[in-house]
Amino acid sequence: MAAKAVKIEYKKRSDGRSWEELRPIEAKTGIVPRADGSASFKIGHTLAYAAVYGPRDLHPKFMQNPETGILRCRYNMMPFSGHGERVRPGTSRRSQEISMLMSKALLPVLDLKDYPNSVVDVFVELPETDAGTRCAGISAAAMALADAGLAMKDLVVSFSMGYYDGQIMCDLSGYEDCDVGVSDIPVAYIPSMDKFSLLQLDGEVPKEDLIKILQLAKKKALDMYKVQQESLKAKYRQGE
Amino acid sequence: MTDTLHAKERDIVVPGEIVAEGLGFLPSKGLYREGEKIRAGRMGMIAVEGKVVKLIPLSGAYLPKLNDKVICKVIDVLMTGWRVETRSPYSAVLGLKDATTEFVPRSADLTQYYALGEYILCKIIQVTSQKLIDITMKGPGLRKLKNGRLVEVNPHKVPRIIGKDGSMVLMMKNATGCTITVGQNGWIWVEGPAPEAEMQAVAAIKKVEEDAHLPGLTEKMKEFLEKLTGKPVEIPQGLPPMQEEPAYEREERRERRPYGGGGDTRHGPGRRGPPRNTPGDN
Amino acid sequence: MKMTKEHVLKYLTSGTRYDGRKNDEYREVKIEYGVSHAAEGSARVSIGETVVIAGVKMGLEKPYPDTPMQGNLMINAELTPMSSPLFETGPPREQAIELSRVIDRSIRESKAIELTKLCIKEGEQAWSVMVDIVTVNDAGNLFDAAALAAIAALQDTAYPEHDAEGNVNYSKKTKEKLPLAQTPIEVTVLKIGDHIIADPLPEEEEALDARLTVAVNDKNVICAMQKGGDMPLSIDEISAMVDLAMAKAKELRKKLTR
């Protein structure tokens, strides 16, 4: 993210959306037939694939927990997925942090106590990135976990909120995140609990505005929630 | 607040979806109560019996259970037995004393009995709370599986593939001429007189798996098999020889039974009464 | 393992495969171009249920001192744990390395990309073409799907804008496509017992005696080969396998619509 010496004027969204509008969403399940559950989640030009394997045997043994199965997320952007240079394959500090945040965002809805000493692996790969990648990853992963038939209290809905010059907006594009320098606030929301399981923020946001941001996020989350629900049911509609 | 049912029989629901509202409803396994609301605790299909709301899972892992007949793959030969893969997070052990009715001498080469990579139909005789599993090969029908191919289906579709009173699998067996051995863990062994017959059986099994949630499946499968084999197909009536347990009764008995082998056995199996929420539901 | 092989052979002897195909038949092949708009070029290939994505990124660099008039080509493949429970996380292992290098040879040796054409200023500025292949679902025959994805991605590649100082503007693509002189097609043929088959299923890959990957260029000339598997091959066997590969390459090439 480049530091801007001169503050850019941003009175209208570059892609023509209204401040509250999310980018177009496309969600599908079953994209990795070999996995136990899988889904793809596309929002604007950010596309995330998620595949779930598990519960399955966990190695190395020292990682096993005799009281419950564990959740292990791995987030990875494909080398050609970004708007700049090629990204060298392999983990980075950023991808490790995001992998950990993804697990934390998904764990509250899962119950793995029936599977001690085992692991549920979630692999998220992104062929295309244009901001909001960890959020798309979480949204895809939640669908994949449901598709895999795991015990889940609810789905998890995730997208980024933004704040710039007093203006609140939903679902940042890459241009807004990197070029304009809009404050990025990724969130993940669990509708049945009415709680957030992911909250990050960078930039300057007064507290009253933060509360307004979260309230707007809750509202918009329900739209995305419906899309996730419909996609999960879609494959059972085919026969009818 | 009046009791309202939001989902109806055969509806597909996703985790978190509100299935019913009101304290008069009784949520069964896979559903949980949150105040007045009953929500789905996993993906599945709704079944309603009076005031009891049930969720029939259509996907999910296999959890090894006492007395299940499962198809396993030998993955290790030990000093006093074999270790097998059960298609769950937990491997199982086949001890020498349970391996065969023959006498196994101490110095015997165990691979002569069961070798790496071979598939066996066995029965689970113990599941501890830490998920250590023991199996046996001594019992009716239990045997090494040869000359066939393995089909993988989701374990939750197994009741549909077996059918009421075993009728679905019997219909497929009669139509294709294949032996179809169904493991509760979703592994199915198909042995036929020729590759073509086997492929027909595989196609039929996969079709049942895909359409398991739809009504009128037996009729549909009769037509499917007739088209596939070019021969008329009969839907079997009455009970076949007792190899597989009646599917729906089995599901209910599992709900009432104390969990696994390490659970509370004071009440014994098959206790009558309304299905109770076993620990682990929320 | 032995049992599966016997059973697979039983099918092959009767002229059919586990999924009903003939010994030389491919599953449905689908190619989708431009699946990642951030990449300079990309493609998704599916062969039956096997899915592989390839993407191309370009950069401006100083040429290597021993080849001052040439740009650079790099092919990298990742067998992701997402695509199969048999793949682990971590740096590429033998299988992924072999896959990368075999595809690399087919593209390099066929002179599909004229490396001197990538040079802008001798000794100072040249394009680096970096192809990354990522597996999404392994249902057998990753080799052929990966090779096809790499070529399709290269066909889809357009130069990004750049200025005289060597700064690339990735957000602007030019209309100028990467000049591809050839489109080498790779076909992997398996030998199981006395049978040779194309487009293997995972059960067949497990049962193989030997495999031969053959890359064929537009003029129907072999431009790369790689033998795998534990069993050795006679000249007759090699000849038969190459014939099958070349016939299949012709068919596969028709799937490239660019």
Q: Do B43 and A153 touch (CB under 8 A)?
A: no
Instruction: Note the pLDDT tens digit of each residue in A120-147.
Output: 999 999 999 999 999 999 999 999 999 9
- List chain C residues with CB under 8 Å of A127: 35-36, 42, 44, 53, 55, 134
**Residue B273 banded pLDDT, cuts 50, 70, 90:** very low
Q: What is the ipTM for the molecules in this complex?
A: 0.92
Cis ω before A60 (30° cut-off from 0): yes
* Chains touching C (3+ CB pairs < 8 Å): A, B
DSSP assignment string, C190-227: EEETTEEEES--HHHHHT-SEEEEEEE-TTS-EEEEEE
Q: Do B117 and C20 touch (CB under 8 A)?
A: no
Note whether B20 and B76 are same-domain residues: no
Angle at C30 between CA C26 and CA C33, to 5 degrees: 145
Domain count, chain A: 1
pTM over 0.95: no
CA distance C38 to C170: 8
Residue with tokens 């933060």: A210
Question: Bigger pLDDT: C195 or B247?
Answer: C195
CA distance C57 to A119: 35
Lowest mean pLDDT among A163-167, B41-45, B253-257: B253-257
Lowest mean pLDDT among A165-179, B226-240, C197-211: B226-240
CA distance A117 to B188: 27
The answer as to whether B278 is a domain residue is no
Q: Which of C141, C184, C197 is nearest to C29 (CA)?
A: C141
Q: What is the pLDDT of residue B235?
A: 85
CA distance B134 to B81: 11
Tokens of A111: 């119950």
Q: How many CB atoms lie within 10 A of CB A14?
A: 11
Pick from B42, B88, B130: which is nearest to A149 by CB? B42
Q: What is the pLDDT of residue C28?
A: 97
Q: Do A80 and C49 touch (CB under 8 A)?
A: no
Report CA-CA distances (Å) from C49 to A24, A127, B202: 27, 18, 17
Domain count, chain C: 1
Cα distance from C207 to chain A (closest Cα, Å)? 20
Q: Which residues pair with B121 in a beta bridge?
A: B71, B143
- List chain C residues with CB under 8 Å of B149: 7, 18, 203
A53 touches chain C (CB under 8 A): yes
In chain A, what percentage of residues exceed pLDDT 90? Answer: 90
User: Which residues, numbered 182 to 221 in chain C, qualify as contacts with chain B under a Cβ-Cβ cut-off of 8 Å?
Assistant: 203
Instruction: Note the pLDDT tens digit of each residue in A194-209.
Output: 999 999 999 999 999 9
Instruction: Note the pLDDT tens digit of each residue in C115-141.
Output: 999 998 898 899 999 999 999 999 999
Cβ neighbours for B116, distance < 8 A, ≥ 6 positions apart: B74, B75, B76, B77, C1
Segments forming the whole domain that contains residue B91: 69-145
Do residues C132 and C78 lie in contact, with contact meaning Cβ atoms separated by under 8 Å? yes
In Å, how far from its chain's centre is CA C216? 12
Q: What is the pLDDT of residue A2?
A: 57
- List chain C residues with CB under 8 Å of B194: 14
Which amino acid belongs to residue C150? A
Cis ω before A108 (30° cut-off from 0): no
The answer as to whether B276 is a domain residue is no
Dihedral (C-alpha) C140, C142, C144, C145: value to the nearest 10 degrees?
100
The pLDDT mean for chain B works out to: 85
Instruction: Note the pLDDT tens digit of each residue in B161-178.
Output: 999 889 999 999 999 999
The answer as to whether B107 is a domain residue is yes
Do residues C75 and C135 lie in contact, with contact meaning Cβ atoms separated by under 8 Å? no
Q: How many CB atoms lie within 10 A of CB A179?
A: 16
Chain B residue whose CA is closest to C2: B117
In Å, how far from its chain's centre is CA B248? 11
**Boundary residue ending a domain (B145, B161, B194):** B145
Lowest mean pLDDT among A13-17, B41-45, B269-273, C183-187: B269-273
- List chain A residues with CB under 8 Å of C168: 85
The answer as to whether C258 is a domain residue is no
CA distance B221 to B211: 10
The answer as to whether B252 is a domain residue is no
Q: What is the pLDDT of residue B101?
A: 80
3-state helix, strand, coil in chain A (%, to 5): 30, 30, 40
- The backbone torsions φ and ψ at residue B175, rounded to the nearest 5 degrees and listed phi first, read -70, -35
Instruction: Note the pLDDT tens digit of each residue in B76-112.
Output: 999 889 999 999 999 999 999 899 888 778 778 888 8
pLDDT greater than 70 at residue B259: no
Which amino acid belongs to residue B72? C
**Residue C3 banded pLDDT, cuts 50, 70, 90:** low
**Boundary residue ending a domain (B145, B178, B213):** B145
The answer as to whether B258 is a domain residue is no
Do residues B51 and B38 lie in contact, with contact meaning Cβ atoms separated by under 8 Å? no
Q: Which of A43, A30, A12 is nearest to A224 (CA)?
A: A43
Write B232-237 long-range contacts (CB < 8 A, 24+). Answer: B233/B171, B233/B174, B233/B175, B234/B171, B234/B174, B235/B167, B235/B171, B236/B166, B236/B167, B236/B170, B236/B171, B236/B174, B237/B167
- How many CA atoms, within 13 angstroms, populate the side-chain half-sphere of residue C100? 18
The answer as to whether A237 is a domain residue is no
Which amino acid belongs to residue B130? Q
In chain B, what percentage of residues exceed pLDDT 90? Answer: 65
Pick from A34, A89, A121: which is nearest to C137 by CB? A34
Q: What is the pLDDT of residue A15?
A: 94
Residue with tokens 């017992």: C193
Cα distance from B154 to chain A (closest Cα, Å)? 9
Note whether B154 and B139 are same-domain residues: no
Instruction: Note the pLDDT tens digit of each residue in B183-242.
Output: 999 999 999 999 999 999 999 999 999 999 888 899 999 999 999 999 888 888 755 554
Radius of gyration of chain B, Cα coordinates, nearest whole angstrom: 21
Report CA-CA distances (Å) from C68 to B157, C104, C117, C126: 63, 21, 12, 9
The answer as to whether B166 is a domain residue is yes
Which amino acid belongs to residue B116? L
Q: What is the number of CB-based contacts under 8 A between chain B and chain C?
A: 26
Cβ neighbours for B148, distance < 8 A, ≥ 6 positions apart: B179, B189, B190, B191, B192, B198, C7
Q: Do C14 and B195 touch (CB under 8 A)?
A: yes
Q: Which residues pair with B240 in a beta bridge?
A: none
| Domain at A103, CATH number | 3.30.230.70
The answer as to whether A173 is a domain residue is yes
Q: What is the pLDDT of residue A13?
A: 94
Helices (H), C110-256: 142-155, 202-206, 235-253
Tokens of B88: 């769950």
Q: Do B213 and A239 touch (CB under 8 A)?
A: yes
The answer as to whether B209 is a domain residue is yes
Q: What is the pLDDT of residue B108?
A: 82
B179 touches chain A (CB under 8 A): no
DSSP A175: I
CA distance B221 to B174: 13
pLDDT greater than 50 at residue A187: yes
Which amino acid belongs to residue A104? K
Segments forming the whole domain that contains residue A91: 25-232
Angle at C137 between CA C135 and CA C143, to 5 degrees: 55
| Domain at C55, CATH number | 3.30.230.70
| Domain at B176, CATH number | 3.30.1370.10
Q: What is the pLDDT of residue B277?
A: 46
Q: What is the pLDDT of residue C2?
A: 60
Residue with tokens 């987030």: A75
Chain C residue whose CA is closest to A76: C80
pLDDT greater than 60 at residue C40: yes
Cα distance from A209 to chain C (closest Cα, Å)? 33
In chain C, what percentage of residues exceed pLDDT 90? Answer: 83
Segments forming the whole domain that contains residue C172: 2-253
Q: What is the pLDDT of residue B129?
A: 85
Residue with tokens 């505005």: A209
Q: Which of A146, A83, C179 is nearest to B58 (CA)?
A: A146
Pick from C7, C14, C16: which is nearest to B149 by CB? C7
Q: What is the pLDDT of residue B270?
A: 44
The answer as to whether C213 is a domain residue is yes
Q: How many CB atoms lie within 10 A of CB C20?
A: 14
Do residues B7 and B27 lie in contact, with contact meaning Cβ atoms separated by under 8 Å? no
CA distance A113 to A66: 9
The answer as to whether B235 is a domain residue is no
Q: Which residues pair with A175 in a beta bridge?
A: none
Do residues C131 and C55 lie in contact, with contact meaning Cβ atoms separated by under 8 Å? yes
Do residues B117 and C3 lie in contact, with contact meaning Cβ atoms separated by under 8 Å? yes
Cα distance from B256 to chain A (closest Cα, Å)? 17
Q: What is the mean pLDDT of residues B234-262?
A: 50
CA distance B220 to B235: 11
